[in-house]
Structure 1
Amino acid sequence: MHKKDMGLAVLIIVVGAVVYLRNPLFLSPINLGNTANLIGLFGLFAIGQGFVIMTGGIDLAVGSMIALLGVLFVEMVGKFGVSWPLAILITLGLGAIMGLAHGILITRLKMQPFVVTLCGLLIYRGLARGYTGEATAGFPFGASYPELEWLTLGRSFGVPHSFFAMLLVAAIAWVVLHRSVFGRHLYAVGRNEEAARYSGVRTGRVITVAYVISAVLAAVAAIYFAMFTKSVQPSSHGNFYELYAIAAAVLGGFSLRGGEGSIVGVVLGAVLLQELQNLVNLLGIPSSLNFAVMGGVILVGVLADQQFNRYREKQRTARARQSLGRGETAQA
């Protein structure tokens, strides 16, 4: 575990202890279960955002993708009678197509990630609202899908399945990012895309795959959110979720400059954000301050990242000077 990850874990424990001392309900089974469910839901697409940020890019379309894909999933299963396994595959496929489109626009047409995904944010949200006519998409009254509900809403040993899903995705993502050739290429592209290209890395493909991963995980989250809420209001469903994902990644040590970050960190970032949301609820802080809390957390996270990088740079410079000094002394 990186030093940043250890520091974040300690912060999570400290915040949890403070909240518990103020309100013992924090550690009640019901509250822990609900919090774990939200960590799983938000952690799924936060991991995908981490892959994109690793390349030095950003995906602002996550929330709108969750809204549009959630609407389409609910409509397929509830209105058109598509079997839920097939509906899941179609939803994941549509997510992959969205991510592929983002990647092609960024790598082939050389458009800025901010512009491409901002347009995606507007387009997907508009399509969701236009398709439903601003109405709420939901499952038919009294409809029941036992296997799907067990998969998405069920609990084993008191732990929500959404949390298990996030852990599974995190384990796979950890192997991909930290133990695979693709992961090494991803780090190389984030640190210096030009140098990676001259080293033989197919940078365009690496960046495109990162956006596909982000979109597919957003599609997975869309299915879980649709089942969790049982209905999708396209004008508000998934609003600002991209900010939660970016905040979790930044808190987890992902640098917005690219080339730095860990999967353990982004999971811990998602845990801390939901813990802070829980703090707001349990301590009676007005919910209207939620975004202020999140904005403050992002600001502190970015400042801490900058200060840490500056300190590390000074340490490297000092060690280089010491080594040079020792070399000159030996020659003399």
Structure 2
Amino acid sequence: MFGLAKISVAAAVLLASTAAAGPSPGSHWVQQRSTPAAGAGAAAHAGALRAGALKPVEAVLQAPRGGMVKPPPGLYANAVDLGARKAAASPVDIVLLGILSGFHIGFGGLLAVTVGGSIPAIKSANPGLQKLLFGLFGLPFGLFMVLVAGGELFTGNTALVTAALVEGKATVANLVKNWTCSWVGNLLGSVLLAKLVVAAGINAAPGTAAAIAVSKVSSPFMPTFLKGIVCNWMVCMAVWVAAGATSLTDKYLAMILPVSAFVAFGAEHSVANMFLLPLGLFSGASKSVSWQDLFVKNILPVTLGNIVGGALCQTMPYAAVYGSLLK
């Protein structure tokens, strides 16, 4: 253990010394993306190191970070600014963008059912692979459309607008307005799309859709609530990081892993369920599932869990470390 510690310190000192000495021979072969701000930060860092203001280990830890995604403090600041803009939007704009986001997430849900829900042989022989495919093909696509095209997604807003509230850039009234209008818009878009899909005859797996609806309303309140927490913690992490990325590739990579993971292990997303459950009802589940079951036994507990996952689990720790929550 002590040997590893010595090696780590030695490596840190070596890296810091190299940074202070300037570029090494042959370093012209390595080109990094940089911005004027990043260059200025690197120059200031090198100057502080040469002046002895930074110890070698501190120099390594505080070195400016490159890349296409903001560092953690920048991600928090970005979330605050984005949440403030969402909080200031008009109710009409939030509802309209919420409807679009309901459609986008619904398209993802339809893709998941069409691909991952239509491979019974794989599900029987290798259920883990089927869950992976169900998660990879569908909801990541839907969330990607929301993030790139723009929208108002209730689940992501639970984290973003909360961050703005903590930093004094939104009021409680703003938060209630945004959450309510985005939730209503998401519901309208999701149900409309479910009706459209059935009317158009493009639901390739009606039996799977009906089975999903029956299964989701059969779970007790508390497990469903807890699944909502886990789900939106991961969704909001995806939104948090992807919103701080600058390229489509980085946004997609930041988003696909947590979203496909929560789908694969069966967590609950309120907006996705706003599409999947009505689709199941329209596909034959109405014989055993009512609209009251849909809301009381699933969407309500999942919504509450999503709020906890986004506002408390995702936002509050970062607000305490990088924001003003405990300051």
Same fold, judged at TM 0.5 (above): no
Structure ID, larger Rg: 2
Higher relative contact order (CA 8 A, sep 6+): 1
TM-score (norm 1): 0.30
